[in-house]
Structure 1
Amino acid sequence: MAGTTYPSESIYNLIPREEVKIIKPPRYMSKFREQMKLEKQENKAPNKTMGPAKVEVPSPEKYLQKHSKEDRSLEKKPNTDHFEEMMKPRKPRVPSKSDKPLMGIQTKKDFVKTNAFENIMAVPKKPQPTYVDTKKGDKFPLETSGLVPKYLKKKDYGQTPEYLLQRQEEVKRAQEEYNDYVQECMKQGAMQQLSDEERKHILEGLKKNWEELHHQYQGLSVVTDTTPKKYRKERLELEMKQLEKDIDLIERYKTIYISNN
């Protein structure tokens, strides 16, 4: 049959073999087993989970009566104030449908006239301003829409705020103190201000030096294959960067002070 497999035949399978029985070791038994049984039997509480073994059946004479299981503490206490209740005046009886009301009796306050006077003397409410922005007539409050120029009507409109004025005064005061300090230092001879001619002369000299160094830098070889060429190129670059910083510093500040020391 297709799909069935048979084991390979061998002559050794014809020799009867002795059956090997596996002997299992004895099961482990704790030496405290008997002691635990005794303790379990002693600590076992009777009627713990299944209820009492024997329930006493009530006799037919002791049947369950009505309201026998209700709480007796909620029972009504006897009324000790019965005498006071009897001394109170009784309320008038409820009129019947055939009784007619007494005519001509008025109360102390005429509510009709009072309401009429209050409505006549009341100030009419002003309608809340609204605006309509749709063809269906949807209304919205006008005050919060941003269309009312309420900021133009403020008392301080168009004026500089107080905090800006205070800040300007502080900046002005700080500048005056700094100018006084600089003038005091100049009087003592500690600093000297450069004139415009000296500043221009120094600036022209720095630019001329930079042009000379730049001319030398352009004359260098393209290939720096030796150590002297490399050192010379780096030295020229450092000197040109320092001159550029000095030129930028002098061009940025028009007032320059130099220490006499």
Structure 2
Amino acid sequence: MESTELMYNLFPKEEARTEKPPRYMSKFRTSVVQEKKSHLDAMRTMGPAKVEVPSPEKYLMKHSKPQLPENVPKYSRVTGGTLRKPDVPKKTDNPVMGIHTNKDFVKTNVLENTTAVARKPPPIYADTKRGDKQLLEKSGLVPKYIKKKDYGETPEYLQQRKEETRRTQEQYDDYVKQRMKQGAMKQLSDQERQTLLQGLKKNWEELHHQYQGLSVVIDTTPKKNRKERLESAMKQLENDINLIERYKTIYIANN
């Protein structure tokens, strides 16, 4: 008496297709690549890119150093170019004199400190007897979520799911009503349902009695086949009984 027709199979299901968003491409990609390539080209050698090759006659003597040409610009790792910052002044250089200012640093510092707003310490809490402190905001004790505009409202996806369930149930009810008007389906009454349920349980008890009477040692093929047939029939009856007990409203086809 199990019906293979389900309400979810009566309507076509739409396949949910998720479109993958396009990959993010920065508008500065080309400039970054060119800048990186230029830096790599500038640092390909351990020294200047073009240096005059010394002749074999002018070999280096002991305790001598190679002399680089003066017109070759030096590369700076800080600025990323060929310009260098000015050198540190030597101890023999005289500092720049004659620079004066009318600013009173003492009064300015006093004024800034007296008019400054005191910094408020962040709220904390102690979670151990030794006084270990933690930030209160990250503890979950601050009621910051109840101040949101959508606090306490049903999420939109739950509302959509509820509306789809209601619409599907209405369509199924309309379909059942139309089929019942056409005479193709009829609803089982409570008495018929109970009678059918008692009959199924009685059949299961008979099969179970036969199953209990099987031999303990199953050493032949007919015994094995009979045991498998009884188990399959009992399993089918158990599924039918669970189906009828689960649903109180059951429709069957007249044909």
For Structure 1 versus Structure 2, the TM-score category normalised by the shorter chain is 0.3 to 0.5
Q: What is the TM-score normalised by the length of structure 2?
A: 0.47
Q: What is the TM-score normalised by the length of structure 1?
A: 0.46
Higher relative contact order (CA 8 A, sep 6+): 2
Structure with larger Rg:
1
